[in-house]
Homo-oligomer: A and B are copies of this chain.
């Protein structure tokens, strides 16, 4: 239980987190900083927000635990902005889906002002915005925490306990290992879903009139915010390129099996895929 939690950027993740913190009584006071006045207005009289403001200094004053919930490309900037405002060495964490660059940058800019611990709750959605917020968004989801040699052990323990209290299953990985994992299990799937959708947009613009549930599921995440994903790809470009290159080789094996009428390989790959999916 914290005296005050400050959430920066009340989008889908930030607002859902505030609701979850309130529902589970994890802070006596929840302060939220939003960039736009309309967002501040929308927060008025919410039980899960005791202070809504556009002012970073007002929002972070007295915070014991700060969660930066902005898109990945704004996180380092916000960390640098709050550094001179913080007192009492609070814990600062974030919800960015890439961790290497963010961790290096936030640790450098927050330096002695705060104790940074990177987090990545895998709880996004193709929907964005406070209006879709849900206090159960993090329930039963994986949340990475990404300590490195510089991470304060007490801050790590408290951040881990926080996500567990929110209902997530916490996995601890070094920032760069995290980025390699999510390149495979999250960013590559996103790019493939998106590539399939943009391919069909060219070849089958009328697909909506004869598409089954399979295509809808396979491309669901392609409806995610393009700007958000461009920023994620841009921060994890190296690992995503490695994953995509390797996947293209893998797909070529399947393509060759199809061309060669090698149904043994084809059946084996289909069975490997099924075995993997059945375990998820």
Contacts and interface: CB of A to CB of B under 8 A. Distances in A.
A150 interface: no
Contacts of A280: 207-208, 211, 215-216, 219
Contacts of A185: 200, 204, 207, 210-212, 215
A273 B171 contact: no
A185 to B, nearest CB: 5
A199 B250 contact: yes
A22 interface: no
B263 A234 contact: yes
Contact of A274 (B213, B223, B234): B223
A48 interface: no
Contact of A261 (B122, B196, B237, B276): B237
Nearest to A197: B273
A71 interface: no
Interface string A236-280: 010011011111101110110011010100110111111111111
Nearest to A193: B218
Nearest to A122: B212
A240 B254 CA distance: 12
B184 A204 contact: yes
Given A200-B185, A234-B263, A274-B222, A122 B211 contact: yes
A153 B272 CA distance: 44
A93 interface: no
Interface string A144-166: 10000000000000000000000
A233 to B, nearest CB: 6
Nearest to A188: B196
A38 interface: no
A47 B144 CA distance: 52
A203 interface: yes
A255 B276 contact: no
A105 interface: no
Given A197-B273, A266-B230, A221 B214 contact: yes
Given A188-B196, A192-B196, A215-B280, 7 more contacts: A124-B212, A192-B218, A207-B280, A223-B274, A224-B274, A240-B258, A245-B255
13 contacts: A122-B212, A142-B209, A189-B214, A196-B273, A198-B273, A202-B250, A224-B274, A226-B273, A230-B263, A233-B258, A244-B254, A244-B255, A248-B252
